[in-house]
Structure 1
Amino acid sequence: MATTDRQATTMALAHALSAAERGLAVIPLSRTKLPALRSPHRDDPDPADPPCHGECGRFGHGAYDASTDPARIRALFAAAPWATGYGIACGLPPHHLIGVDLDTKTGTDACAALRELALRHLFTLPATVVVLTPSGGRHLWLSGPPGVVVPNSAGRLAPGIDIRGAGGYLVGPGSRTEHGVYTTAPGTAHLAPAPCPRALLRLLLPPPRTPHRPSPASAGRHGRGLVRFVLGAHEGRRNTRLFWAACRAYENGIGPALVASLVDAALRTGLTEREARATIASAARLTGRRP
């Protein structure tokens, strides 16, 4: 490895550890902005269903490897000595980060499009962390409410506006890529991610789907799969997994029948009954069903 690459890796690790001190879970990235560690399941003959998100204990699961633990972060970077940047996982506590990526490569003015959305839907963008990309784009950091899963999207709000939510990541400031270095905009480095305006949050969430009534047999199989999905949750992802499973259950018309099993599974992962029932109720509201 060239000296400059070693320096870039050292700096990326230092920036990643600093971000972790602020409660931001991180992973190493390559110069291409992709996770530096390849999936350990890339040669598996039969993909897991649901897919492995780190339950196997090995590195290489992208944003699902992200951690705030300094020892784990050092181990991740030690396994990827070619890393020159770091990614910040979105959707995880305590910030439940939502990234608004304003691109410049589409030939449109994404900043103007976001301002137009703010005027049309009556919200104000708060002062928050802004990261400048080498191509001239901007990443706005916002925090979401606990128990609400914001999905990733590209251009759904408007051309040039991408959203990084649960399962996604943002390139952290200080990262060096093929096109340059990501930096924090002047005057924003000291800020914490500001709460996402409610009107904007509603735009980021998918519309509730009309539930269908599966046959009792298929509902039973599907329900067991959702319960197993919750049981496989690690600390830091328990609410996210429970919320996802509860949404799927209500969308498929088996939510009320599955509440007790989901609560029991959540208790086994370490959540309290109050936390579990609140998360399930949030999923019921989001999908248009009464808890």
Structure 2
Amino acid sequence: MTPAEPPLSLAKQFAARGWHVLPLSPTSKRPLANCSQCQITGATHRIETCPCLPRGRWCHGVRTATTDAERLTAWWQRQPDAVPGIAAGPSGLVLIDLDAHDEELPQHPATELVPGHDLSSTGINWSSVITGMHTLVVLAQLHGGPEPWPADPAHQPLVVATPSGGRHLWYQAPANGLRQAIGELGWQIDIKAGWNYGIAPGATTGAGTYRVLSGTHAAPGQMPDWLAREVVRVASTRPRHHPHATRPADRSRTTAANYLTTVISRGATRLTGLTDGRQRALAALAYQAGGLLTWSGLPESHVVSWLITAGEASGLPTRVATRIVRRALANGMRQPLQGPARSLRGSAAHA
């Protein structure tokens, strides 16, 4: 498969392997626009019953993804320069998107680099953490592995270099019902799953070509167990059977509340200094706060208000900040975390 391969040919190759394909804009990398009827604000029809889909139109973005070669041909005859995208969930895949944006490290990386993990005692050289790939290496080391994926073929993803210098890791989905998770696994790491999509490996956009570095298109590997657990933890759409986080005893409840308050305060300070990546940073902060909410004993309404205010202070519109906070906080609450006992003991000792 060569970088210059025609888009339709590339789309058909993936469709033949069972990967569901949709057409994307070569400039914005977003799904092509809906028809005029589906663009009407407040349209009442449900996506599942939209008459455009059985008629072979590309309305409703990723929902239109298909493996039908005739439909792909018709689409690319109408839009020859469209870029093939891959719908993750329908294809049975998860894309781990490792960014390499020019973005400052979180102000307090020990608690903010990998939400839900306290890295204070790891001795990590923070100056060496520059991209999402480095964050994934840190996460792997927390689980006892020196690399983000083992060397055996069963766990090899399809690895793609993005034009911006990042990496796409395509894996078999470790579970059904996963969703997109932006920044919730770690700094500069996005998970594309469910009704989300990625640029097809080998495709070319206005920014450049998504070059395949290693792995096989025919059968991307399964995630190693530790990575599968982490992905399911942050990208699950439903709560699973696991012990719920418990509120600390009265003696330490104030300290627990202070811990979450400090996490939010530090995150808010970092948000105000960002020009890029504010939505991603707010989502990661809200997700972490959601995981710690029950443990902290703080009222949910207070935390929601603080987070929305932090988003607004960074320059995000209220509507956008509210949407991000409510969704990410709810996702975090479905995956409750226990705060670091070490910090509680230390704080109690100084009380």
TMscore range, shorter length: 0.5 to 0.7
1:178-193 → structure 2 map (5 Å cutoff)? 178-185=206-213, 187-189=214-216, 192-193=219-220
Cα distance in 2 for residues equivalent to 1:45 and 1:191: 41
Cα distance in 2 for residues equivalent to 1:87 and 1:33: 12
Counterpart selection for 1:27 from 4, 9, 22: 22
Amino acid at match of 1:47: A
Counterpart selection for 1:140 from 147, 160, 169: 169
Q: What secondary structure sits across from 1:156 in the alignment? A: strand
The CA deviation at 1:18 is 1.0
Q: Give the match for residue 90 of structure 2.
A: 92
The CA deviation at 1:52 is 5.2
Cα distance in 2 for residues equivalent to 1:132 and 1:82: 21
C-alpha spacing 1:43/1:190, structure 2 compared with 1 (3 Å): closer
1:176 to 2:204 alignment: yes
C-alpha spacing 1:131/1:33, structure 2 compared with 1 (3 Å): farther
Rg larger in 1 or in 2? 2
Counterpart selection for 1:11 from 3, 6, 10: 6
Preserved contact between residue 96 and residue 189 of structure 2 (Cα < 8 Å): yes
The CA deviation at 1:120 is 2.1
Relative to the length of structure 1, the TM-score reads: 0.60
C-alpha spacing 1:56/1:120, structure 2 compared with 1 (3 Å): same
Alpha-carbon RMSD across the aligned residues, in angstroms, is 2.9
Number of equivalences? 200
Preserved contact between residue 182 and residue 190 of structure 2 (Cα < 8 Å): yes
Task: Write the deviation string for residues 138-172 of structure 1: whole angstroms up to 9, x where unpaired.
Answer: 100111246x2111121111121011111111101
C-alpha spacing 1:111/1:54, structure 2 compared with 1 (3 Å): farther
Amino acid at match of 1:74: T
Amino acid at match of 1:109: T
Percent identity at matched positions?
Answer: 31
Structure 1 unaligned residues grouped into runs of 5+: 1-6, 211-286
The CA deviation at 1:182 is 1.0
Preserved contact between residue 158 and residue 212 of structure 2 (Cα < 8 Å): yes
C-alpha spacing 1:109/1:166, structure 2 compared with 1 (3 Å): same
Relative to the length of structure 2, the TM-score reads: 0.51
C-alpha spacing 1:193/1:101, structure 2 compared with 1 (3 Å): same
Q: What secondary structure sits across from 2:135 in the alignment? A: helix
1:1-291 → structure 2 map (5 Å cutoff)? 11-35=6-30, 37-40=32-35, 41-48=37-44, 50-51=46-47, 54-57=50-53, 58-83=57-82, 85-93=83-91, 96-107=92-103, 108-121=130-143, 125=149, 126-145=155-174, 148-185=176-213, 187-189=214-216, 192-196=219-223, 197=225, 198-206=228-236, 208=238
The CA deviation at 1:194 is 1.4
Q: What secondary structure sits across from 1:20 in the alignment? A: helix
Q: Which runs of 4+ in 1 moved over 3 A?
A: 49-56, 121-124, 206-210
